Amino acid sequence: MASLQPVRGTHDLLPEEMRSHRRVVETARQSVELYGYEEIATPIFEFAQVFERTLGEASDIVTKEMYSFADKGGDVITLRPENTAGVARCFISQGLAQQVPLRFFYAGPMFRHERPQKGRQRQFHQIGIELIGVAQPQADVEVIAAGVRVLDALGVLDKTVLEVNTLGDPASREAYRAALVDYFSGHLDALSDDSKARLGRNPLRILDSKDEGDRKVVAGAPLFADYLNAESVGFFDSVKADLGALGIAFELNPRLVRGLDYYTHTAFEFTTTALGAQGTVLAGGRYDGLIKMMGGSDTPGVGWAAGIERLAMLCGAAPAASRPIALVPVGAVAEAEALTLAERLRGAGFRVDLAYSGNLGRRMKRANRIAALASVLVGEDELARGVATVRDMDSGTQDEVALSSLEEYLAQYR
C-alpha cells in the first residue's frame, strides 16, 4: 500500500512555518485594529451561487479553479476561492445594513485548483479587510493606508511598490468596455483563444493577459483614462491627493484592472520583485456594485486581501520559538512529584518542558536540543530538603533554590 501523502497543492504547516504565518496574521490584526477593524470568520464553504454570481459564471476561477461538490443533501457547495463574496453574503444574511459603516478583518484558508508553485498552493491562506458602507474616496485611502501599515509593521514595505488605477463609475466603465470590444475585434487573429473567449463577456480581463501575443495587442489598446467622466476623474484625483497628503508613494498603472462589473473607481496592488514571478502580495479595490448584485441593498464597499504565504516568504526567517524551562526529575520519587511541580510553574506563566524518560544525561541533552533557558533539576535528596538545582543553560552556572520561592527565582527567565 502506498504511503499516504498530502493532496497535491496542499502541505502541512509545521511549527516553524506556523510561526511565520502567525507573525503575519497577528501583526496584521494588531495593525488594522488601529483603524477600527474587527475580526470575523465566515464559513470556508458556501453555496456555489455565492461565487458563481459574484465571480461570473464564465470566469476562469469558476470554470477552472473552484472546488465545488454536491453534499449529501444535494446542495452544490463550493470551498471559498476568496473571501470578499463571503463577507458580502454575511452582510446580507445577517441583516447588517443598518449598522454601516462596518470594518471587518479576516484570516483563513482559501481554495483554488491551479498549478501549484512556490508561494501558491491549492489551499492557501489570506488576510484581508473590508470597509462596507462608505462611498467617499477617503475610504479607499483608509484601506490603502491600513495595507501600508501592515506591510511596514512586517518590515517588508520597502520591498513593495504601490500601483493604483481607476476603473471609473459604471457609465465610464461601459464606455471603455465598448471601446475595448471595438479595438480587440480588429485584432482577433493576434489574440489567444482565452482572450477571444473573454472578448464578449469580459474584455477588461484581456488587459492583464500573460500571453505574449496578447500583450503586444494590449500595448496599443485604448486607455481607461480617455473614457472617464468628470465624476470619476474627481474621485480619483481625491484619492491621489489624499495618498500624497499621507506621504504614501504610489505609481499609476493604467493597465491595472478588475474584470468584474461590480468593481468601480480605485484598484490597487502592492507588488514586489523579491518573489520572482509571484509579484502581487496585497491587492484590492472598490466594489460598490457587489452587495446589490447579490440581492442586498445598494451598499458601497472597498477592501483588500493579501497572501499569507507570500508575505511570510517576504519576511524571511521564522520568528524563534519561545525558549522553555526544562524540568529534569532524577529518580522515582522526583518523577512522581514532577507533574505537580510542572503544572505549578505553568500556572505561574512559565513554558515548561517535562521529559518522561531517560537518564540525567539524556534529559540534559534534550534540554540543550530544545534551547531551554534553564533546567530545574530535582532528585530525592533535593525534595527532602525542599530545594531544586537551577542551571542557566547559556552560562552553565547553577544555584540551589528553595522550592517555595522557585517562581520568584525563575522570573528572570520570562
pLDDT tens track for 175-196: 998 999 999 998 888 889 888 8
**Residue 53 confidence class, pLDDT cut points 50, 70, 90:** confident
Kindly list the distances between the CA atom of residue 163 and the CA atoms of 24, 166, 239, 255, in Å, as whole numbers in the listed order. 22, 11, 13, 10
pTM of the model as a whole: 0.89
CATH 3.40.50.800 fits 325-409, yes or no: yes
Least confident of 10-14, 33-37, 255-259, 289-293: 255-259
Looking at per-residue pLDDT, the higher value among 356 and 284 belongs to 284
pLDDT at 117 exceeding the cut of 90 = no
Adjacent-strand bridge partners of 26: none
> In DSSP terms, which residues pair with 120 in a beta bridge?
117
Q: In this predicted structure, what is the pLDDT of residue 210? A: 80
Per-residue pLDDT, averaged over 339-364, amounts to 92
Q: What is the arithmetic mean of pLDDT over 318-332?
A: 93
Ramachandran angles phi, psi of 5, nearest 5°? -130, 160
Residue 143 pLDDT > 90: yes
Q: Cα(257)–Cα(166) distance, rounded to whole angstroms?
A: 8
CA distances from 321 to 13, 89, 107, 317 (A): 15, 38, 22, 12
d(CA 240, CA 141): 8
**Mean per-residue pLDDT for 85-106?**
97
Torsion of CA 260, 157, 10, 127, to 10 degrees: -60
Q: Mean pLDDT lowest for which of 102-106, 123-127, 168-172? A: 168-172
Other beta carbons less than 10 A from residue 390's beta carbon: 21
Mean pLDDT of the 331-351 span = 93
Which of 1.10.10.60, 3.40.50.2300, 3.30.200.20, 3.30.930.10 would CATH assign to domain 15-169+229-315?
3.30.930.10
- Residue 277 pLDDT class (50, 70, 90 cuts): low
**Distance (Å, whole) CA 365 – CA 363:** 5
Of 84, 207, 231, nearest to 143 by C-alpha is 84
280-286, strands of its sheet edge to edge: 38-39, 102-111, 123-132, 301-307, 280-286, 264-272, 160-166, 251-252
Higher pLDDT, 274 or 240: 240
Q: Which residues contact 20 (CB under 8 A, 6 or more apart)?
A: 312, 315, 318, 319
Q: List Cα–Cα distances, 345 to 135, 371, 401, in angstroms.
A: 54, 18, 14
- Mean pLDDT (the chain) is 92
Classify residue 375 as left (phi > 0), alpha (psi -120 to 50) or beta.
Answer: beta
Phi and psi angles of residue 315, each rounded to the nearest 5 degrees, phi first: -70, -25
Residue 230 Cα distances to 62, 149, 183, 236, angstroms: 35, 31, 24, 10
Domain ranges of the chain: 15-169+229-315, 325-409
Position with higher pLDDT, 177 vs 400: 400
Is residue 147's pLDDT more than 80? yes
Write down the residue that cell numbers 507573525 correspond to: 23
Q: Please report, in angstroms and rounded to a whole number, the separation of the first and last CA atoms in the chain.
A: 48
Q: Quick check: 58 pLDDT over 50? A: no
pLDDT at 260 over 80: no
225 band by pLDDT with thresholds 50, 70 and 90: confident
Degrees to nearest 5, angle at CA 324 with 321 and 326: 145
Contact 239, 140 (CB under 8 A): yes
Output the CA torsion 277→282→283→285 (10° steps): -170
pLDDT value, residue 276: 76
